[in-house]
Structure 1
Amino acid sequence: MTTSQSFIFNKPTKFEYLGPPDLKGVEHFLQVLMRDRNKVFQESSSIIKTTVLFVLDEQNHKELYAEQYTIQFSEDLTEMKVTAADELGIIFGILHISESYLGVDQFWFWNDCEPSCKEVVEITPVPFLSEIPKVRYRGWFVNDEVLISMWNYKDSNEVVWEMVFEALLRCKGNMVIPGTDIENPVYKKLATSMGLWVTHHHAEPLGAQMFARVFPDKRASYIEHKDLFQQLWKDAILEQKDAKIVWNIGFRGQGDRPFWIDDPTFDTDEKRGALISQIMRDQYEMIAEYQKDPICCVNLYGEITELYKEGLLELPDGVIKIWADSGYGKMVTRRQGTHNPRVPSLPTKNEEGPHGIYYHVTFYDLQASNHLTMLPNTTTFVNDELVEAFEHEMNEFLIVNCGNIRPHLYFLDAISDIWTHGELNSEEFLNRFVSKYYPSFPGEMKDYMTDYFDAIIQYGVFDDERAGEQFYHFTIRKLAKQWISSLGKESAPNLFWATGEMNLENQFNWFKTKVEEKLPEWERLLENVKALVGEGNHIDQKRVHDQFLIQVQIHKNGCKALLSFSHAFEKFQREEFLDAFLLVDDAMEEIKETVEMMERTTSQKWDGFYHNDCLTNVSLTFYTLETIRRYLRMLGDGPSFYEWEKRYLTSVAESSVVLLTNKTKQLMDDELVQRLKV
C-alpha cells in the first residue's frame, strides 16, 4: 500500500542525467544504481511513474562544496532531483540512494550481504544536504595486495578491482593509490574512470616507473643520471596531466628503502636533505608546466621524518606534508630493523601546513605485523590517534593502507566514519557493526570481538607494540634458520628488535613466555566461536566463519606452534631428540590447520582467495618446521633411520634378535610420527 505523501521508488523508476557528457565515473555509477535497483525490486503493480534526476551544475551551484550534493523533491512527488557541482558529488549522491533507499551495504561484495528484495520503497520527501567530510582527500592505498592481485571473480581480476574502488567510494573515500609497483599503472585508469583522485606510493614519486626497472644496467644515482630520472618523471606527468592527481613528490630509493643505501656518496644527513629538497623543487616545477596550481604532497615517512625534524628539508609552498604512523597505528616513526627512534609523526600546532596522514590498518615489516588478520590495536586506540592528529590540523589528506580489503573490513569501516565525521564512538560502532553483519547473534559477537583484542600479545613496552600473525610465522622461521646454521649455539640478530641482545636459548625463552601467557585466551575464544558457527549454513554463520573464525584460528595456531617449537628447542638442548621431533610435529599440525582453514571456504565465490599468501606465507612456516623435524630425526635416528622404529614400534622379542638390520623400508617422517604418537 503506497501513500501519496511519499516519493515512490520501484522498478519502473527512471534515472536521468543532466550535465557534461562523457564523465565516465557518472556513467559507471548510473549502471551500478541500475544493477542495485534490479537486485532489490520485484515487478511492481504501481501505476505511479517516477524519475530520479541527477544534475551536475557547476556554475549555478557554487554554494556547494566539492563533492557535496543536495536531494530535493518536486511538488507532485514524481521527481527526486540530486544536484552537485562536480562529478564526485553526483557519484556520492548515487551511492547515497543505493545505500539509504535500496539498502545496499557499503561492503556488500566483500562481506557477502546482499540487499533484501521488495516491491517498492516509499521515501519521505525531506530535502537533504550531504555533510562535508572532516578530511579533504581521503582514501585507500591498496598495498601488499598479493591476494587480490591473483584472485579472480567471475573469471576476471579487473572486476575485483572494480569492487575495491566501489567499496572505497561507498565508504565516502575519494582517493586511491591503486596498487603497488607494477600493479599501479594497470588499475590507475580504472580508478580515474570511476571518478577517483589518484595519488602515488611514497617510493614511486609522480607515479613514474622505477629507474632500476627501466635502466637495469645503470646505477640509480640522480647525480649521475639526472636527465634519465627527469625523463621518467616527465613521461608520468604527461600520462596523468588530464586526471585528478595528488602528485607525490620526493625521492626515496629503488624500492621501499632510502636511496643512500645504494649510493654511499650521501653519507651525511645534510647531503641527503639537500638532494631531496632540490629534487622536490625540480619535480614541482615540472608538474606546474602542465597543470595549473597542482596539488602535491610529500611523505614524511621513516627516515624522511627525521630529516624534516632536523630542519634539513625545504618544501615548495602549499605541498601537503604527510606524516606516517608506526605501522601499528601509533603516530610515531616506524621501527626499521632494530632502529626504533619513535620520533613523533605530528607537526607542532603552529607549524605551517597543509598536513595529512598515512595510516596502516595492515602492515608488512617481516617482524610482527598483521597481513591476514586485523590490526592488533583497537578502534578506541585508532580513534584517539586520528583525533589527536586532527587537532594538529592534519585533516587535508588521509591515506589508509588497506591491504587486501577483506581481512580488514572492521577497521576500514571504522576509519570511514572517522574521516567523515571527525571521530568515532567505539562502543556504538561495535554495536552497529555486529548488529549489521551478525544480526542472529550480535551479543555473542560483541563479546568475542572484545575478547579477540584482549588476547593479542603485547610484545613491547609501547601501547601500539602488539602482535599480528607475522609475529609467529617470521619468528619461527628466523629461529629455525639460526638453530640449524649455528647448531643452536648463536643468537638470531634479526630478532633483537624484540628480545634485545641475548643468546639463542634466552631468545626462545622470551618468545615462549609471550605466547604461553596468551594461548589459553586464544584457545578459549576459538572454541566459543566454533560453537557459534557449528554446522550451520546460515549466512551469519558463514560470515563468522570466513571473516572472524579464520583470524582467531590463525592467531591460536600460530601461538601454539611457536610454543611447541620453543619446547622442542629445550628438548634439543638436552639431546632428547625424539621428544623434540614430536614437539616440532605438534607445531606442524597447528600450522597445517591454518593452511586447511585458508583453503576451506563457505562459498565458491571465495575459492582461491588465499592461494597467493606469499607475505605471511603460512605454508612456508610448515616447510620450515618440516625441515627442523628432518634435522632432529637425522640427529636422533640417523644414519640408519631405523632406531626409533625398532625401539618404540617393534616388539621386544623382535627387536632383541637382530639378524637383519631391518626387514622393511624405513618409515617416512609422517608415518613414523603418527605411529609414535599412537
Structure 2
Amino acid sequence: MSGVFIFNKETILEYQGTERTSIRHFLKVLARDMEKVFLEKYEGGKTTILFLLDESNPENLEPEQFKIEFSHDLSQMTVMAGDDLGLIYGILHISENFLGVDKFWFWNDCEPPAQSMVPVEPVDYFSHVSKTKFRGWFINDEVLISTWRSNGSNGEVWEMVFEALLRCNGNMVIPGTDIENPVYKKMASEMGLWITHHHAEPLGARMFSRVFPDKKASYTENKELFQQLWREAIREQKDNKVIWNIGFRGQGDRPFWVDDPAFDTDEKRGALISEIIRDQYDMIDEIQKNPICCVNLYGEITELYKQGLLEFPEGVIKVWADSGYGKMVSRRQGSHNPRVPSIASPQDQGPHGIYYHVTFYDLQASNHLTMLPNTPEFVKDELTRAFDHEMSEFLIVNCGNIRPHIYFLDFVSELWTKGDVDEEEFLSGFVSRYYPSYTTDMSNYTKAFFDAVIPYGNFEDERAGEQFYHFTIRNLAKQWIVSQGSQPAKNLFWATGEAGLKEQFDWFQTKAADKLPQWEELASELQALAGDSQDEEQKRIRNQLHIQVHIHKNGCKALYRFTQAFERFRAEDHLGAYLLVNDALNEIRESLIMMQEPTDAKWEGFYENDCLTNVSLTEYVLETVRRNLRMLGDGPAFYQWEKQYLTSAGERAVMLLTNKTKQLMDDQLAEKLEKSMEQTYSDGTNPQSINKKKAETSPASR
C-alpha cells in the first residue's frame, strides 16, 4: 500500500532521549495496545515509530506539546517533544487515534477492534496547547476503588486511574485522600503527573493528630511539631513535580476553629492562616527555589478572603471552589448557605484556578454512585464563565471513583483542553463511541436523566443526587423511632427549614412524588433497551446509565413510600405503615442486587465498600422501622396479623392454640400480606389500610 505509513504488528517502537521512567511506562502501554489490536502478522515490511525527547526543543514547541512527522520513504514516523509529558501525550495520541483505544477503555469496558494493520496518512501534526495550564483530578471519597481489585491488584486500579487521566489530557493529580495519598503518590509521579494536595492536607504532610494523637492540634501551642511534619513532606517530594498546596483548615475536612475556640473572630482566624501560609511558603522556598504554590479558597476560607482578612505570597495560585454541585459559589455547610460568589474579581491579583466537583459528599443531597445531577449546559456555563475571569491557570476536578462519572470527566476534559465545548456535539460523540447501535435512544435517555432530577432548593444548582434519598430516609427514620413521630429531624433543616416532623415528611413526599413517574418510566425503558444479553453495548448500558437510573428510581420511590408510611403511622394504621415501609425496603434491595451482581466478573466487588451513600445501611434502617411498626401493631404475640389476614375464617374463629407454627419473620410475613392484597376476601376482612394502599400505588393517584 503506497502513500501511507503502515502501522502494524512488526512496527518497531524506538526511543531517543534522556531516560525517563514515565516515558518508558507509556511505551509499554503502547506495546500493550498494539498486542490488543494487531493479532496477526502483516506481510508488508517493517516500519518504525521514533519517539524523540529533545529538551533543547529545536522546534520551539510549547510545554507539553508534541509534533508528528514522517520520513520521505514513509518507513518512519517521528514523534518529538521538548518534555516528558509532551512525549507521553504523543504516545497516547497514537494509541487513541491510530489504534482506536478509548480514553476510558478500562472503566467502560470498551476494547479496540482487531486489525491486521493501520494505514496512517503522512500529514505532519502539531498538538494543541491546552486552555488550562494545570489540569487534573482529585481522587477523593475513593472508597470503592480503595478496596476493589482488578486482576487481584489494587495497584492496577490506580494505574488505570492515572492512565485515564493522561488520556484525558490531564497533567496533575491529588492521588487519593488521607492515608491513600502517599501510597499512590510515587506511582503518579513515575507516570509523569504533577502532584498537588488535598485542601485539608497542606503540603501533602501527614495529619497532625495521626502522628501526635496525645497533642492538641493547635498551631499556637505546637507550632514546631506542625512545622516538623511540613518539612518532612517537603523533603520527601522536593525532587518531584509538585504544586504545593499551602494553607490550614484543621484535623479533618473542617475549620480548625471548631476544635480551637480561642479563634472566635474572623480577624483572628484570618491572621493565623496568613501567618501559617507565609511560614509554609518560606519553608518550601528554602529547598525548592521559586516553588509553584496554590491555596484553596474553599468554604469558610472564601468568606475570610472576601473580607480581606487573608494575605498570600506573590504568585500563589488562588483556587476557587464550587458549591459541590457545580455552581461557583461557596458550599453549604449544615444549614449555613451564604453562597459567597467564588469567581475572581478584576481587582483580585492572579493567578487563579478552580476546584470543581463532578461528584460530592455532603451527607445531604450529593451524588456519589451516580453522575452529577446538574446538566452539561450548566457545567459549561460555569466553567467558561470562570475562564472569562482569568481562572484558567489550574483546574482540579473531584472525580470520586471514576466509573460512575466518566460522562462528566470526559466533558470537563474537553473544556480544560479547548476552553469550550458544544454540548449536543459532545453527547452525540459520546453515545456514538459507546452505544453505536443505540445512539438516538441513548441520547434521549441521557437527557431524560437530567430532566428527572429533583430540584430541591431555590437555586439552579440545588438538584438531588442519590444521597438525597438515603440520608433523608435515615434522618427521618431516626426521629420517627426515637421521638415516636413527635420531634423534627434537625439535620434536615437545610432542606425544609425549621419545620415539624410531619411537615418535613410532607415536604419530602411532595419532592419525591413530583419526579417519581419520570424515574419509573426511564428505568422501564432502559430495562427494555439493555435487556440481559451479553451484547457489549447493552452491557455498557446496564453498567452505566441503567444502574444509575435505577439507583435514583429506587431511592425516590423508597422515599415516597416511606413518607406515605408515616401518614399511616399517624393514623394509627400500623399494618398499612408496615406494608408501605416494606415497599420502600424492596426498592432499596433492588438497587443492592444490581450493585452486587455485575454484568462482568471484572466488576465483582466494585460497590462492596459503598460506605458513603451506603445503600445497605438504608436497608438496615428500613428493616428497623418495619420491625418497630410490627412491634406496635402485631406484638407482643407477633401472630395477630398472620391470624387475621392470612388464615381462613374458620381457623380464626376457633382458638384452641395461640399459634400452630412459628411466627413468620418479617420478609415472609410482608410477602404473604402483599399477596393477600391481590385477593378479595368473601368475608370482608381485607383491612381498610390495604385497600387504601392499593388506591395509592402511584403519585399520580394523589
Does residue 1:446 correspond to 2:452, yes or no?
no
Q: Find 1:146's aligned residue among 119, 138, 143.
A: 143
User: What is residue 306 of structure 1 aligned with on the other side?
Assistant: 303
Does residue 1:19 correspond to 2:17, yes or no?
Answer: yes
In the other structure, the counterpart of 1:336 is: 333
What is the DSSP-based 3-state SS (H/G/I as helix, E as strand, rest coil) of the residue aligned with 1:334? coil
8 Å Cα contact 1:61/1:84 also seen in 2: no
Q: Secondary structure at the match of 2:293?
A: strand
Distance in 1, Cα, partners of 2:61 & 2:647:
85
Question: What is the rounded CA distance, in whole Å, between the counterparts of 1:551 and 1:60 in structure 2?
Answer: 47
Aligned to 2:573: 576
- State how 1:393-472 maps to structure 2 within 5 Å: 393-472=390-469
Q: CA deviation at 1:672?
A: 1.3
Deviation at 1:424, TM superposition (A): 1.1
1:674 counterpart residue number: 671
Question: 2:202, 2:245 within 8 Å by CA — same for their partners in 1?
Answer: yes
Q: Give the aligned residue type for 1:120.
A: M
- How far apart, in 1, do the equivalents of 2:147 and 2:661 lie? 45
Among 361, 379, 382, the alignment partner of 2:358 is 361
1-side partners of 2:44 and 2:119: how far apart? 14
1:67 and 1:461 mapped to 2: Cα distance? 43
| Distance apart, 1:157 and its partner CA | 0.3
Instruction: Please report how far the alpha carbon of residue 663 of structure 1 lies from its aligned counterpart in structure 2 after TM superposition.
Output: 2.5
Structure 2 unmatched runs, 5+: 676-702
Look up the SS of the partner of 2:100 in the other structure.
coil
Give how far 1:656 is off.
Answer: 2.3
State how far apart, in whole Å, the 2-side matches of 1:479 and 1:288 are. Answer: 52
Q: Aligned equivalents of 2:534 and 2:641: distance in 1? A: 46
CA distance in 2, matches of 1:544, 1:666: 43
Shift of 1:7: 1.1
CA distance in 1 between counterparts of 2:215 and 2:57 reads: 55
For residues 190-589 of structure 1, the aligned pairs below 5 Å read 190-589=187-586
Residues 442-462 of structure 1 show CA distances to partners (whole Å, capped at 9, x for unaligned) of 001001111110000000010
Q: What is the aligned partner in structure 1 of residue 641 from structure 2?
A: 644
Residue correspondences, number? 675
Q: Is 2:166 aligned against 1:179?
A: no
Instruction: Compute the displacement of 1:119 (Å).
Output: 1.0
Contact 1:564 1:583 in 2 (8 A): yes
Q: Which amino acid aligns with 1:600?
A: E
CA distance in 2, matches of 1:324, 1:411: 17
**Cα shift at 1:435:** 0.7
How many angstroms does 1:45 deviate by? 3.4
Q: Does 1:63 align with 2:60?
A: yes
CA distance in 1, matches of 2:262, 2:321: 27
Amino acid at match of 1:109: F
Measured in 1, the distance between the counterparts of 2:48 and 2:67 equals 16
- CA distance in 2 between partners of 1:626 and 1:536 (Å): 33
Rounded to whole Å, the distance in 2 between the matches of 1:659 and 1:119 is: 82
**Counterpart of 2:436 in 1: which secondary structure?**
coil
Equivalent residue number for residue 101 of structure 2: 104
- TM-score, normalised on structure 1? 0.99
SS at match of 1:117: coil
- Aligned 8 A contact 2:10 2:42 in 1: no
Structure 2 contact 9–42 (Cα < 8 Å) conserved: no
Aligned to 1:9: 7
Structure 1 residues 462-492: Cα deviation after superposition (integer angstroms, max 9, x where no partner): 0000000000000000000000111100111
Residue 137 of structure 1: aligned partner: 134
Query: Which residues of structure 1 form unaligned runs of 5+?
Result: none
Write the letter of the residue equivalent to 1:32.
V
- Percent of aligned pairs sharing the same letter: 67
Correspondence for 1:50: 47
Displacement, 1:304? 0.2
CA distance in 2, matches of 1:619, 1:433: 32
User: What CA distance in whole angstroms lies between the structure 1 residues aligned with 2:532 and 2:213?
Assistant: 55
Q: Is this contact kept in 2: 1:599–1:607, CA < 8 A?
A: yes
> Which has the larger displacement, 157-166 or 9-18?
9-18
Say if 1:359 and 1:398, in contact at 8 Å, map to a contact too: yes
Aligned with residue 165 of structure 2, among 165, 168, 178: 168
Residues of 2 paired with 1:127 and 1:70: CA distance? 7
One-letter code aligned to 1:377: N
Q: Within 2, Cα distance between the matches of 1:639 and 1:481?
A: 23
Give the aligned residue type for 1:13. T
Distance, in Å, in 1 between the alignment partners of 2:442 and 2:543 is 14
- 1:639, distance to aligned residue in structure 2 (A): 1.2
Cα deviation digits, residues 40-94 of structure 1 (max 9, x gap): 1133333422111111111143721110111111111111111111110110010
3-state SS of 1:232 partner: helix
Whether the 8 Å CA contact 2:22–2:192 is kept in 1: the answer is: yes
CA deviation vs aligned residue, 1:487-544 (integer Å, no higher than 9, x gap): 1001111001001111000100000000101000011111111111123221000000
Q: Name the SS for the 2:135 alignment partner.
A: strand
Could you list the per-position Cα deviations for residues 118-164 of structure 1 after superposition, in whole angstroms to 9, with x for gaps in the alignment? 11111111111110000000000000000001100011000000000
Q: CA RMSD in A?
A: 0.9
Return the letter of the residue paired with 2:6: I
CA contact (8 A) 1:7 1:124 kept: yes
In structure 2, distance between residues paired with 1:219 and 1:298: 24
Secondary structure at the counterpart of residue 229 of structure 2: helix
1:187 CA displacement: 0.2
